[in-house]
């Protein structure tokens, strides 16, 4: 069986999703899990795009030894110089350069001609080869390009030394039949194609990214580009979990393998969702909350008699934990430690103690704590990769159909001083946010608010995810960032909302501090 190379671009194309920006520590946490999962290539960022991206690619290059580390550039020397510098310490560096091949890109975006664009691409590959052996070339918007011109570009860049040619359906326009024919056409019409690997990079604007990636593989591609949970520009990229599980489940059809440890799919999906603040839709294939839930009586009956009547994948195979195992306050530290280890969490003593205290609070309110509650606890207490400036100690709300929603908050500030303040609002969440704003004084707008029940039942833990937009952006070397996400979980949804709001504000303040530190360091 042929092996398909998995190229993960969660930290580059995925991070281009609006408001998904991650800090360097968060990216490092994700890359360690991607490495453990067996991803072959990690596209760590676009080094020239921001100082944060540069630092992330640099650190990932130092810390990740088992994957190829790739940095994106446009087809010019400055971009390539910066990427080469960021990748300097990588065990296996790859520069990913390229430019548009469709007439609409050449004419309107690049404002050049086909011939000049081809020359520019060739020069970029030759220049990148001065720094690294492994150069990947992207033919942007290949899905809408004239195939004859695309073949010429690919032949020329392979002659210049490209080791991988990336064929992107940048706008998600192509159908599986067309895409399969295009990839087949490349294998038949590019004379030197045997010297390079064909990669497919599909976007999901018409919901066909996974289907297109798979037809690309069936027609000759041996590398596939994807993101965890399918996050990415607009409607997103092809999703890693869907491609990997399709290849795995239907190996009778595709006859291909990957190096992915599928049991790490679900934990990685949760981590990416928690850190980016991008909620996974419940009916999302493989990793959605309902992907393995059977609600109709007929289906439940079938699955109880024989799992495979309605399940084509065993949830354990993708790392979905058994939610039947429950703990209570009586389980103690030992029981909690044991269950967290079973779920794949390695916590140091400080992290464990925080998780334990929170576990006791939840167990006190709910009596029993299941796997999904534990995931929410770990996300809240452990998966936090910035220093908190303000700590919410207490929140109290009064509301009802004939009263003015009012909130009082007690917040501990950076020097340990305690602030107490209150405000009213259009509803309890608005009142809480206003009260918090009176203390912290960081002008912003709440632009997104979503709430999900982590578990079933009236005592369910609610998870709130929010996004705020800062009036005053965080800027570093001319690159501005305004949108920050936050999350919080609690059996009380108003408390969960307060936590999520504090999380986003603390994240914004940490990014401001980091930017000031970096500017100071350069000045
Ligand atoms: O979608 C696209 O064309 C891209 C390229 C930069 C590879 O993301
Ligand atoms: Zn893309």
Please write the tens of the pLDDT for every residue from 470-485: 999 999 888 899 999 9
Torsion on CA atoms 249, 204, 165, 104, rounded to nearest 10: 160
Mutate to test the pocket of ligand 1, among 98, 138, 144 (most ligand atoms within 8 A of CB): 138
Q: How many domains does the chain have?
A: 4
Quick check: is 287 in a domain? no
CA of 168 from ligand 1 middle (Å) equals 6
pLDDT at position 162: 98
- Which of 16, 139, 166, 213 has the most ligand 1 atoms within 8 A of CB, as the residue to mutate? 166
State in Å: Cα 5 to ligand 1 middle: 17
Ligand that lies nearest to the alpha carbon of residue 237, given by its number in the listed order: 2
Structural Rg of the chain based on CA atoms: 25
Q: How far apart are CA 218 and CA 243, in angstroms?
A: 12
**pLDDT average per 10 residues of sequence, the chain (523 residues):** 96 89 94 98 97 96 98 98 98 98 98 98 98 98 98 98 98 98 98 98 98 98 98 96 98 97 96 95 93 80 84 93 84 93 89 95 89 90 93 96 95 97 97 98 95 79 94 90 94 95 97 89 57
Domain shared by 215 and 316, yes or no: no
User: Could you give the CA distance from residue 68 to residue 365 in angstroms, rounded to a whole number?
Assistant: 47
Same domain, 401 and 497: yes
- The ligand 1 site (C-beta within 6 Å) comprises 13, 138, 140, 166, 168, 170, 201, 203
**Nearest ligand, measured from the Cα of 232:** 2
- For residue 206, give the 3-state DSSP assignment: coil
Q: Are residues 352 and 431 in the same domain?
A: no
Q: From ligand 2's centre to the CA of 171, what distance in Å?
A: 8
Integer Cα distance of 473 and 513 in angstroms: 12
CA 127 and chain centroid, separation: 31
Residue 354: inside a domain: yes
User: Do 507 and 375 belong to one domain?
Assistant: no
Which of 75, 99, 203 to probe ligand 1 with, by most ligand atoms within 8 A of CB?
A: 203
What does the pLDDT look like over 184-204, one tens digit per residue?
A: 999 999 999 999 999 999 999
Domain range for 349 is 322-381
In a domain, 434, yes or no: yes
Whether 445 maps to a domain, the answer reads yes
CA angle 214, 216, 221 (to 5 degrees): 115
CA of 284 from ligand 1 middle (Å) equals: 23
The verdict on 202 and 249 lying in the same domain is: yes
Rounded Cα gap, residues 227 and 243, in angstroms: 10
Looking at residue 523, its pLDDT comes to: 46
C-alpha 31/C-alpha 6 separation (Å) is 14
Q: How far is the CA of 17 from the centre of ligand 1 (A)?
A: 13
The reply to whether the predicted model has a pTM over 0.85 is yes
Residue 51, domain member (yes or no): yes
- Cα angle 416, 418, 422 (rounded to 5 degrees) comes to 150
């Amino acid at each position: 069986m042929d092996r398909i190379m998995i190229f993960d671009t969660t930290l580059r194309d995925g991070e281009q999703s609006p408001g998904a920006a991650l800090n360097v520590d968060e990216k490092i946490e994700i890359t360690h899990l991607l490495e453990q999962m067996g991803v072959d290539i990690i596209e760590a960022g676009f080094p020239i795009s921001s100082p944060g991206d540069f630092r992330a690619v640099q650190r990932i290059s130092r810390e990740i030894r088992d994957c190829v580390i790739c940095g994106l550039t446009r087809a010019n020397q400055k971009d390539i110089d910066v990427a080469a510098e960021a990748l300097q310490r990588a065990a296996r560096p790859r520069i990913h350069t390229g430019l548009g091949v469709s007439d609409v890109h050449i004419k309107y975006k690049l404002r050049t001609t086909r011939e000049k664009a081809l020359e520019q691409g060739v020069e970029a590959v030759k220049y990148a080869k001065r720094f690294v052996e492994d150069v990947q070339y992207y033919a942007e918007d290949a899905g809408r390009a004239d195939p004859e011109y695309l073949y010429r570009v690919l032949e020329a860049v392979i002659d210049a030394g490209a080791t991988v040619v990336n064929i992107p359906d940048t706008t998600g326009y192509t159908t599986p039949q067309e895409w399969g024919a295009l990839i087949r056409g490349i294998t038949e019409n590019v004379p030197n194609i045997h010297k390079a690997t064909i990669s497919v990079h599909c976007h999901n604007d018409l919901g066909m990214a996974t289907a297109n990636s798979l037809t690309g593989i069936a027609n000759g591609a041996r590398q596939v580009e994807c993101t965890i949970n399918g996050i990415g520009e607009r409607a997103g990229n092809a999703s890693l979990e869907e491609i990997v599980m399709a290849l795995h489940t239907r190996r009778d059809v595709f006859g291909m393998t990957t190096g992915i440890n599928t049991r790490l799919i679900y934990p990685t999906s949760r981590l990416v969702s928690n850190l980016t603040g991008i909620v996974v839709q419940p009916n999302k294939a493989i990793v959605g909350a309902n992907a393995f839930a059977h609600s109709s009586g007929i289906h439940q009956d079938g699955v109880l008699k024989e799992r495979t009547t309605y399940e084509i994948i065993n949830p354990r195979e993708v790392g979905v934990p058994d939610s039947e195992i429950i703990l209570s306050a009586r389980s103690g530290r030992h029981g909690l430690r044991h269950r967290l280890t079973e779920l794949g969490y390695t916590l140091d003593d400080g992290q464990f103690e925080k998780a334990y205290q929170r576990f006791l609070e939840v167990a006190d309110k709910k009596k029993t704590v299941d796997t999904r509650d534990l995931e929410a606890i770990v996300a809240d207490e452990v998966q936090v990769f910035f220093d908190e400036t303000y700590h919410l100690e207490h929140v109290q709300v009064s509301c009802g159909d004939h009263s003015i929603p009012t909130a009082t908050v007690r917040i501990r500030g950076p020097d340990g001083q305690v602030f107490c303040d209150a405000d009213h609002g259009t509803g309890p969440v608005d009142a809480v946010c206003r009260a918090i704003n009176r203390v912290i004084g960081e002008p912003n707008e709440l632009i997104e608010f979503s709430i999900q029940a982590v578990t079933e039942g009236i005592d369910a833990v609610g998870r709130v995810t929010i996004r705020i937009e800062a009036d005053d952006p965080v800027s570093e070397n001319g690159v501005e960032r305004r949108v920050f996400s936050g999350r919080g979980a609690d059996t009380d949804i108003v408390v969960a909302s307060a936590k999520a709001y504090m999380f986003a504000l603390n994240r914004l303040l940490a990014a401001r501090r980091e930017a000031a530190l970096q500017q100071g360091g350069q000045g």
